[in-house]
Amino acid sequence: MAKSLQELLASRSPESQARIQKMADELLVESQLHLIREELEMSQKELAATLGIKQPSLSAIENRGHDLKIS
Q: What is the pTM of this model?
A: 0.57
Q: What is the pLDDT of residue 26?
A: 82
Q: What is the pLDDT of residue 71?
A: 44
Q: What is the pLDDT of residue 62?
A: 84
Q: What is the pLDDT tens value at each position of the chain, 71 positions in all? A: 678 888 888 999 999 999 999 988 887 777 788 888 999 999 999 999 998 989 998 888 888 755 545 44
CA distance readout (Å), 57 to 4, 7, 61: 36, 36, 6
**Integer distance in angstroms from the first to the last C-alpha of the chain?**
22
Q: What is the pLDDT of residue 67?
A: 54
